[in-house]
Structure 1
Amino acid sequence: MKKSTLLLSSLILASSLLFSACSDNQDDAAPASGAAAVTNPTATTTTGSASSEQANGQVIQAADLSKLPEAAKKRTDTIIASLTDPAGAFVPYFTQSGYDGNVNSQLQSSLVTTDDKGVPAPDLAEKWDISPDNLTITYHLRKDLKFSDGSPVTADDVAFTWTILHDKAYSGDTAVDVIHVKGGADYKAGKAKTVSGIKVIDPLTISVTLEQPNATALTTLGGPVLSKAYYGKDYKFGNLDYIKKLYLSPVGTGPYTLEKFIPGQEVRFVANPYYYKGKPKTEHFIYKTSEGDTWQYLETGEIDFASFSATQENIDKLKALGFANILSYTPSSYGYLQLNLEHEQLKDKKVRQALTYGLDRQSIYVDAAQGAGAIANIPASPISWAYTEEGINPYKHDLEKAKQLLDEAGWKAGSDGIRVKDGKKLTIHFLGSKNKGTDIFIPIAKENFQALGIDFQPEVFADFNALVSKVESKDYDMASFSTPMLSDPSDGLAMFLPNGDVKGFNNPKFTELYKQSLATTDIEARKKIYKEIFQLLNDELPVIFTSYKKTVYGYNGRIQNLSVSPFNGISESLPEWSLSK
């Protein structure tokens, strides 16, 4: 499934995904690669109540490190974190799920990152220049950059990376097409041997020229750099299948290199001696698959770091451990129920609105989460500078309104109470992963939809990748997902484009507004456009927006230098993590 939308403007810094999926969250991180951020204290109407201990970025120190389990005490050069099992596509731009992106966040650095305010900041590129007409961006690489195999990073590698993203065979998540690099379309169509807008000026300098201004171009093109010598040695236009053979032997520029991937168990990393910021302080890092056992693994010391919904119950449990530091964090993501708009019953906007009115989202996402969640009604987090509630329908739970809309849509109750139209029953085939959130969702949704005369048919998957495969087969009506962390407001919108992941939604007005939002860098002008976009999507409901989440990290009190970035999560500080004696 091409989650181009969540990909985010490639800025999607692979790093921004790190730890975006909680172990007991209601939704699953959508299968996308990439993306990014802090709590807006003025957004009190949507963020819900929370204790002062849940303030974003506030650390509650471990009370008694003597309670640290023996397994954790014995580790001296290894830190272990929990992670949902990745698919194993460890090459940026070719990832198959957000969990692959979590792995890539340690294997790769990007040309451009973002600071704590969401402003582009140097990474592999030490600086950049933008022409007065906003059409040409020139990136200046740092000196002496090296890939993890010791080879130099040059402008030729950047040019190769950008070129294969324009190959007709590229089907990954980076929405480079919307950037409109000059000559990109001709290259993709096979009409040109190179992308004319890409110019290598010298080994450390490269420029790219666009056909039209784009507010996200700097970061979209400022993603990870692929080694031309390694990833390009077998490259032929129109054939990128060979890269699959390199998924498990990646070469990158990040703080760690891949040591071993054991599917269903763990991903092992070793410190990269060529990392431009210096070799990480901890030699070994491990992602351990811990779905369903996260609490147990943290309690026994089998893992050092885990994330949970920021309920008071979870915070109290973490406090009771004694040896865990506790860090609260609000990511810039949103949850949603993806709808199969190619199925006849969901093509009607009134049916989609009825489903939203009929679903008790307050009970599912806020009350059951003990305040560690809030209702979402637009594809942007309250922490986003573009967030608005003006003209937004909150779709408060209203069964009578839902029934009225279904009546208007021509769905009438049959003899068994299930609504029927043109001889077909109104059914909703739901897909979800096996987790606490799904366990909460299913009984409430079943009761709600039964009251509306809808036959609700849930299907639960223990393996996230199996759920993704089912969605790709289009054998579903509704599936539960959440985005990675989002940096730019446009990042959460690409799924609604005609070639996006929400199949069957083709709204010319949305597409035009989306283009307008990227055609200017004036933030006030963009705010006005996004307000109109959010109002449109809030009415059309191509997906059912569900919730914003609050996360709490519990981690071994020995870990030093751990910090959280509003837009990049924990990935940027991870190379500095060390274990105190």
Structure 2
Amino acid sequence: MLNHRFTKLVLPVMLAVIVVLSACSNKGGSEPSASPTGTTDSSPSPSASAAAPESNDDGLFNVSDFNNIKTNEGEAIAGGTLNYGLVSDTPFAGTLNFNFYSGQPDVEVLGWFDEPLLTWDASYVYTNDGAATYEVSEDGRTFTFTIRDNVNWQDGTPLTAEDWEFAHEVIGHPDYDGPRYDGGMINVQGMAEYHDGKADKISGIEVLSDKQLRITYIESNPSLITGGIWSYPLAKHIFKDIPVKEMSASAAVRQKPVGIGPFKVESIVPGESVVFVKNPDYWRGEPKLDKVVLRVVNPSNVVQEIKTGGVDIVGSFPVDQFPDNAGLSNVEWLGAVDRAYTYIGFKLGTWDAAANKVKPNPDAKMSDVNLRKAMWMAVDNDAVGKQFYNGLRWNATTLIPPSHPEYHDASNPGITYDPEAAKKLLDDAGYKLNGDFRTKPDGSELTITFISMTGSEIAEPLSRYYVQAWKEIGLNVQLEMIEFNAFYNRVGDTGEDDPSVDVYQAAWGVGIDVDPAGLYGREAIYNFSRYASDENDRLLAEGLSEKAFDKEYRLKVYKEWQELMVQEVPVFPTLYRAKVVPVNNRVHNYYIGDGTDMYVYNIAVNADKAIAAK
């Protein structure tokens, strides 16, 4: 479930407001701007007024009161420069290639100059409106792709089917150090044999011509047409002479990245800023803007940057700062239900790099499900959403969020807030109080290390709330606040788990496909809790089985999976979230969220300079 409307998160995909990925997802979360739905190039206008939404009598806001499409004011000018703020308290990592990146900040950079070959509609099904079209065999296993003749790399080299094949070869190579080699990639026929060195070619991939590629999958499944195809090529003419193990650190990724999107990278200040210029050869048409300047903006400074017009747009605005700034005169506030959720994770094992899968540890400190359930019972996430976020984040119950309303089990309450029941559960499980804190059932000391990310002004207060809630039920939890990149290194995004970490707070941005195997499967490196069970394996497999083409059956499977995760609690969701973004009044054709027909190259401005607040 690691994808992105503008870019495909495979993963996860992650957001850096309090904690985040998205993972991806990778560490996924927010989009930089108008993203392809794969239907038409029209620019619909919102039906409601551009006035800022008002809070209810209780001071809470509701995301349904926001528009997600910017109201165009005045006439757009030719050209112009857009200033974009990447909100983060840490530099972006700078892994600027979809085949290698893992962090959400890098996605916000990537989305301006690169894109997938396939786009999708409002139901998240691949269409034939992208840079490539496709046909499917009757058995649903073989896809024939045709790349449009006018799709070129930004250095002028035509994009070919070999570039698409090459991306698969690099990801499947034993020396590949990125996160894309997962269950979906292994489903390509011959990929496992190629990865294991038993074949020098991936048998299921065939280049038919310069512009045609055929891929055969071992199993047909309903996820293939909703995010299960890797649709990011890799420029073979650039990377072919770079050893695979050196690619992710190469200049072709870090300093001079080349994509196929509407803007080209002109210059990079590593971790701080990127200047993009329009790509006049973009396959959809020449972009309306001349330039986009992206720079990192600290959450503590973001409001000032917006007020003065220092930035026109930010990718992710700290929603806790919205109520005090809802009336800004120079912006229109857009809002949408985010395909993301925040969660608390429990370390239950390690990553086995040799086997490329999770290695559960039955003796892990957090292995007792009673302890995990009690920690969920102890926190009042309904109150957190209201008090910290004024209703723009709200209590989460299951691991399929309401951004996928058909599959989200709204009837499942999760584990409800009940600290007294949590105390009793711990008592019954043998965690006895010894002074202020409980001991393990064997009588030894129990100290739990909890790590969370720095970010917005409330990142640490919120984390300390959780620590206090756990203290109230007798648990000695020690908090460490860590910046984004170091945080994910410790939880294991490189495959090396820090053994000192017991519990962590993070967030996932989920993809267009509902399949959660990319986050919770046995072979998913982003399964940071390192949870695995036979029942989890079974349900994840059933969700991708031939029987799952029957939507009712698939709904039933994922309802059972959501219940399993509530009972097993390898992680527990804390908050679903609204995405709220201020957009300067001079900006045209901008949107957030899903379900529109707008594209990035259509973004325009109606004046040379951003409008400042009065």
Tell me the TM-score normalized by structure 1: 0.86
1:226 equivalenced with 2:234 (yes/no)? yes
> Does 2:341 correspond to 1:334?
yes
2:65 aligned partner, one-letter code: A
Instruction: Give the structure 2 partner of residue 57 of structure 1.
Output: 67
Measure, in 1, the Cα distance between the counterparts of 2:136 and 2:70: 43
Deviation at 1:408, TM superposition (A): 2.6
Per the alignment, residue 86 of structure 1 pairs with 92
CA distance in 1, matches of 2:106, 2:67: 25
Q: C-alpha separation between the residues in 2 aligned to 1:92 and 1:575?
A: 19
Give 1:574 shift.
Answer: 2.8
SS in 2 for 1:518: coil
Pairwise CA distance, 1:7: 3.6
Question: How far apart are the structure 1 equivalents of 2:469 and 2:323?
Answer: 31
Structure 2 segments unaligned to the other structure (5+ residues): 31-36, 38-57, 350-362, 608-614
Partner Cα distance (1:443, 1:275) in 2: 48
Residue in structure 2 matched with residue 508 of structure 1 by the alignment: 534
Aligned residue identity for 2:335? S
Q: Note if contact 2:265-2:275 (Cα within 8 Å) is conserved in structure 1.
A: yes
Q: 1:130 aligns with which of 129, 136, 143?
A: 136
TM-score by length of 2: 0.82
Conserved? CA contact 1:341–1:542, under 8 Å: yes
SS at match of 2:365: helix
Aligned residue in 2 for 1:70: none
Give the C-alpha shift of residue 13 in structure 1. Answer: 5.6
Percent of aligned positions with the same letter in both sequences? 23
Alignment of 1:568-579 (within 5 A): 573-579=599-605
Structure 1 segment 65-84 matched on structure 2, within 5 A: 76-84=80-88
Aligned to 1:452: 473
Whole-angstrom CA distance in 2 between matches of 1:416 and 1:564? 47
Partner-residue secondary structure (3-state), 2:293: strand
Q: 1:108 to 1:128 in 2, by over 3 A?
A: same
Give aligned pairs, total: 544
Q: Secondary structure in 1 aligned to 2:322? A: helix
The residue identity in structure 2 corresponding to 1:244 is A
User: 1:483 is aligned with what amino acid?
Assistant: W
Of 215, 222, 241, which residue of structure 1 is paired with 2:246?
Answer: 241
Mapped partners of 2:461, 2:72: distance in 1: 31
Mapped partners of 1:428, 1:512: distance in 2: 31
Q: Tell me the CA shift for residue 89 of structure 1.
A: 0.5
Matches of 1:167 and 1:12, distance apart in 2: 27
Pairing 1:413–2:413 present: no
Residue 174 (structure 2) aligned to one of 165, 168, 174: 168
Amino acid at match of 1:154: T
The yes-or-no answer on 1:482 pairing with 2:507 is: yes
Query: In structure 2, what residue type is equivalent to 1:555?
Result: V
Query: What residue number does 2:393 align with?
Result: 373
Query: Mean alpha-carbon deviation: is it higher for 328-337 or for 77-86?
Result: 77-86
Moved more, 300-309 or 277-286: 300-309
Please, which of 28, 32, 38 is the counterpart of residue 24 of structure 2? Answer: 32
- Give, in angstroms, the shift of residue 466 of structure 1: 1.9
CA contact (8 A) 1:7 1:174 kept: no
Q: Distance in 2 between matches of 1:530 and 1:370?
A: 31
Tell me, yes or no, if the aligned pair for 1:89 and 1:100 is still in contact at 8 Å: yes
Structure 1 counterpart of 2:543: 517
Q: Which residue of 1 aligns with 2:53?
A: none
Per mean C-alpha deviation after superposition, the further-off stretch among 185-194 and 480-489 is 480-489
- Uncovered stretches (5+) of structure 1, i.e. residues with no partner: 1-5, 39-47, 66-72
> What secondary structure sits across from 1:122 in the alignment?
coil
Give the Å deviation of 1:545: 0.9
Please report how far the alpha carbon of residue 268 of structure 1 lies from its aligned counterpart in structure 2 after TM superposition. 2.0
Matches within 5 A, 1:90-239: 90-122=96-128, 124-179=130-185, 180-218=187-225, 219-235=227-243, 239=244
Matched position secondary structure for 1:552: strand
2:303 equivalent in structure 1 = 295
Cα separation, partners in 2 of 1:418 and 1:377, compared to 1, 3 Å = same
Task: Report the Cα offset of residue 96 of structure 1.
Answer: 3.0
Letter in 2 for 1:365: G
Q: Equivalents in 1 of 2:285, 2:402: separation in Å?
A: 36
Change (3 A) 1:317 1:49: closer
**Match of 2:288?**
281
Amino acid at match of 1:433: M
Name the one with the larger helix percent: 1
Partner-residue secondary structure (3-state), 2:119: strand
Q: Indicate how the Cα distance of structure 1 residues 302 and 456 shifts in structure 2: closer, same or farther if over 3 A, else same.
A: same
Structure 1 distance, partners of 2:487, 2:521, is: 23
Deviations, residues 368-421 of structure 1 (Å, cap 9, x unaligned):
21111121121111131211134x343221111111221232211113434344
Distance across 1 between alignment mates of 2:25 and 2:115: 14
Bigger mean CA deviation after superposition, 153-162 or 164-173? 164-173
